[in-house]
Structure 1
Amino acid sequence: MKLLKTSIVVYLSILSFSSLGDVAVIVNPNNTSEISENDISRIFLGKNKSYANGNSVEPVNTKYGNGVRKEFEDKLIGKNKSQMKAYWSKLIFTGKGKPPKELSSDDEIIAFVAANPNAIGYISSEKVNDSVKVVQ
């Protein structure tokens, strides 16, 4: 029984580490800035307004209800839906921030990022194409 419990814990741990592999963080192919996981988190929390190279950053989210957003926020940002809503409500109320623009689909995010040199977004990794560059 103890071996079974240990096996389940190991299996779930492997799943949690590999599951971010289903989400691709993308930028415009002309973006040459170095972008770390911490940078991505800070960008989508409104804490970083520019890339390391000084260019402004324009993050774009997918709408709530999309599994990719849930996975992105859970795994990379470390907050669930209600925590994110509370976080942004506080910033909006105090006038200290505005949440990233929301688009309806991976295809819309790809088109937006491909057309905007300062954009950053995330999509399902299976939707990645040559019009964008994966950074995470």
Structure 2
Amino acid sequence: MMKNFLRSVAAMAIISWSGAVLAEVAVIVHPSAGFDSLTADEISRLFLGKSKSFPNGSPAIPLNQDDGSATRDQFNQAICDKSPSQYKAYWSKLVFTGKGTPPKDSGDDAAVKTLVAGNPKMIGYVDASAVDDSVKVIYKLP
């Protein structure tokens, strides 16, 4: 009975800890973007190379956070429906066949926010706590 209790406590601790790790992720664009929101599917299409422009027709340049970032992993799982290894394999295949170039790895929250704030063509994602009025939030991961 004590073993079951300890297993239950351990399982609860793991579940609550894993939930605490997930931060709120905000997808951001330049404040002058001519739209206020995109759907998860539209964002996914940009980050998977299936679309090269925003729905309003202006060119889009997606920016990833650096490989290994928890924010990147959370974004790729929620938006692109891919684990880190699936995302790498997806882009490796497209690069190898000459059918695409992955979004540039652009650093952490601060670096991505600075790049997006300076270029109306860029779209990126950051921890929601990093957002300020230099960028516009167009989507938040549920």
Aligned counterpart, 1:53 = 56
Counterpart code for 2:102: P
Which of 30, 37, 40 pairs up with 1:28?
30
RMSD (Å) for aligned C-alpha atoms: 1.9
Tell me, which stretches of 5 or more residues in structure 1 are unaligned?
Answer: none
Aligned residues: 124
Q: TM-score, normalised to structure 2's length?
A: 0.80
- For residues 1-136 of structure 1, the aligned pairs below 5 Å read 19=22, 22-33=24-35, 34-136=37-139
Counterpart-to-counterpart distance in 2, 1:92 and 1:105: 24
Q: Where has structure 1 moved over 4 Å in runs of 4 or more?
A: none
Tell me, which stretches of 5 or more residues in structure 2 are unaligned?
Answer: 1-7
> Which secondary structure state, in structure 2, belongs to the residue aligned with residue 70 of structure 1?
helix
CA shift for structure 1 position 38: 0.6
**The structure with more radius of gyration:** 2
CA shift for structure 1 position 82: 0.7
Counterpart-to-counterpart distance in 1, 2:108 and 2:40: 23
CA shift for structure 1 position 116: 0.4
Identity %: 44
Counterpart-to-counterpart distance in 1, 2:51 and 2:138: 16
More helix per residue: 1
The C-alpha deviation readout for 1:41-80, integer Å capped at 9, x for no partner, is 1100000100111100000000111110010011111100
Counterpart-to-counterpart distance in 1, 2:78 and 2:39: 14
Counterpart code for 2:103: P
Counterpart code for 1:75: A
CA shift for structure 1 position 113: 0.2
> Which secondary structure state, in structure 1, belongs to the residue aligned with residue 79 of structure 2?
helix
> Which secondary structure state, in structure 2, belongs to the residue aligned with residue 135 of structure 1?
strand
Counterpart code for 2:54: Y
CA shift for structure 1 position 35: 1.5
Counterpart code for 2:32: N
